[in-house]
Chains A and B, each alone.
Chain A
Amino acid sequence: MNPLDLSLRGQAAAIAAGEANAAELLDATLARIEERNPAINAVVATFPEESRSMLAEAPDGPLRGVPVLIKDEWPLPWRAQRFGAAELLAPTAPGESGPYRALRDAGAVVVGVGNMHELGAGSTGNVSVYGAARNPWDTERCPGGSSSGPAAATAAGLVAGAVGADGLGSVRFPAAYCGLTGLKPTFGRSAMAGHHMEAVTTLIVSGPLCADAADCRLLGSTLFGEELAAGAASGLRIGVVRDTVSEDVTPEVDEACGAAIEALRTETGGEIREIELADLDAATLAGILIINAESLGGVSPERLNDLDPGISPINRGFLKYRMLLPAAAITQAERVRTLMRRRLAALFEEVDVIAWPTIPAVAPPLEAPLVELPSGTQTADQANVRGAALANLTGIPAISVPVGFGSEGLPIALQLQGAWGADELLLDAAEALERANGRRWVDARPPLAQAEPAGA
């Protein structure tokens, strides 16, 4: 097999065994980006000279010589992050971010920067200063956001793994839309240094986007700075909630996720328990309010009156609207956070994971990111955030796992959420799910990833 098409762990093992040449792999990766990226606009910067320098100095770590993409959300020593926007409202400069250091110390090679939804403020990836990223499964569809580029690039086989960030679902949505596995770590476990909101955020984490759970375990271990040991996930107690997040979804999502939950139960010899988790709507709003309040640090009216004209109209308006959010609502949001953390702590005495669809519908069109749900037509952002915000609000880990395809050939995904620190268990459960369905969904590749270059 072409080393480019190996898994992340396969590339690492091939290089370590001397079966693949890391310099050749880097050159081939850069060539593939040049070849395939125009169709998906996933990679917004490459820097061959710096990448080759990283390779030349790479230590003998678990990812030695493996090319990895990083989201436009952290600085690199030779490039400041742009956050997918014409301007960032926080100071930014080139530097050694936490994810960069983690990758470097593991021997990985940062091969490029991934596109992202402007200012991280969207679940679709169709708004960016670089232009929309596109979904490799259908380039007229949204790749998901805000980690749009890392997901699209990995799904299209430009790289075998990428680093994203998740503040309200921004690793899980693009993983789901692009048919990947994406881990939103427990708050504080993964590298965050250098992020322009690191000092104030209580929601955002870095996380891996890869084809499957084993690759997420490897890249996650790098970001965590500790090995995420594998376990069995036997006798898994799976909690399911009968609420909007699980019921206001398209029939094909409902069917695929229901089948996956049953398959997971069978594979692990576990059980399914119906659980109550009230006030999910309040938790979602609390997450939205808190992240918006946190991102206002240092933003003055004068600053908002002098925005770069390249900022999209929707974010220009919403940045100004944020200033009008009532302080009482932020305070109430913090109380809701405490309420939900206590409820989850009690629930995780009864179940090991909570399962519901990552996304209520498959990837919508780039031109009109709307979804048709039983409750009616909604923006994808409105619908998606309902299932994602709880994990960010409370700090718990969550993972999105591909579990099928809809009638239009677009991926469907199940989300598993676990107790604080149960990141390893979620990876174990994702691997159990892969076994249960014969790796059918994690091994599927979009047509773009199967294409050979002209003349090959």
Chain B
Amino acid sequence: MEAADRAEQFIPAGLASLRIEADEVDLAVMSAAHQMFWPAIRALLSLELGDLEPERNPDLSRAPEKA
């Protein structure tokens, strides 16, 4: 319920700010997606990665250069 409550606030506000229209079915799908992804996104944002900086324009066909 808690996650659903957040979705009820977050999704309509986000859509309104971007002027994206949504019907009831859209909102139901988005609510389900939000409940699935949002806790994981919060966990991702909380992941402590120290001072790790992302590779700049990494060549994904090769191993990374040594940090």
Q: How far is the CA of A419 from the CA of B64 in the complex (A)?
A: 11
Q: Are A332 and B47 in contact (CB under 8 A)?
A: yes
User: Using an 8 Å CB-CB cutoff, how does the interface string of B1-38 with A read, 1 for contact, 0 for none?
Assistant: 00000000011001100111110011111100110110
Q: Are B63 and A186 in contact (CB under 8 A)?
A: no
Which chain B residues have a beta carbon within 8 Å of chain A's beta carbons?
A: 10-11, 14-15, 18-22, 25-30, 33-34, 36-37, 40-41, 43-45, 47, 49, 52-55, 58-64, 67
Q: With A317-B33, A320-B15 in contact, is A282–B58 under 8 Å at CB?
A: no
A448 within 8 A of B: no
Q: Are B44 and A332 in contact (CB under 8 A)?
A: yes
Q: How far is the CA of A323 from the CA of B22 in the complex (A)?
A: 13
Q: What number of A-B contacts does a CB cutoff of 8 Å give?
A: 122
**Chain B residues whose C-beta falls within 8 Å of the C-beta of A321 in the assembled complex:** 11, 29-30, 33-34
Q: Are B61 and A395 in contact (CB under 8 A)?
A: yes
Q: With A321-B34, A323-B14 in contact, is A420–B44 under 8 Å at CB?
A: no
**Chain B residues whose C-beta falls within 8 Å of the C-beta of A336 in the assembled complex:** 44, 47, 49
- Can you give 7 A-B contacts (C-beta < 8 A)? A285-B37, A304-B21, A316-B26, A318-B33, A320-B30, A323-B20, A335-B52
Question: Which of B11, B22, B63 has the most chain A CB atoms closer than 10 A to its own CB?
Answer: B63
Q: With A304-B20, A326-B41 in contact, is A334–B60 under 8 Å at CB?
A: no
Q: Are B54 and A335 in contact (CB under 8 A)?
A: yes
Question: Which of A186, A318, A321 has the most chain B CB atoms closer than 10 A to its own CB?
Answer: A321
Q: Are A329 and B44 in contact (CB under 8 A)?
A: yes
Q: Are B64 and A338 in contact (CB under 8 A)?
A: yes
Q: Are A341 and B55 in contact (CB under 8 A)?
A: yes
Q: Which residue of A lies closest to B63 (CB)?
A: A345
A377 within 8 A of B: no
**Chain A residues whose C-beta falls within 8 Å of the C-beta of B52 in the assembled complex:** 335, 338-339
Give residues 336-355 of A contacting B (CB, 8 Å): 336-339, 341-342, 344-345, 348
User: What are the nearest 3 A-B pairs in CB distance?
Assistant: A317-B29, A395-B60, A188-B61
Q: Which residue of A lies closest to B17 (CB)?
A: A324
A286 within 8 A of B: yes
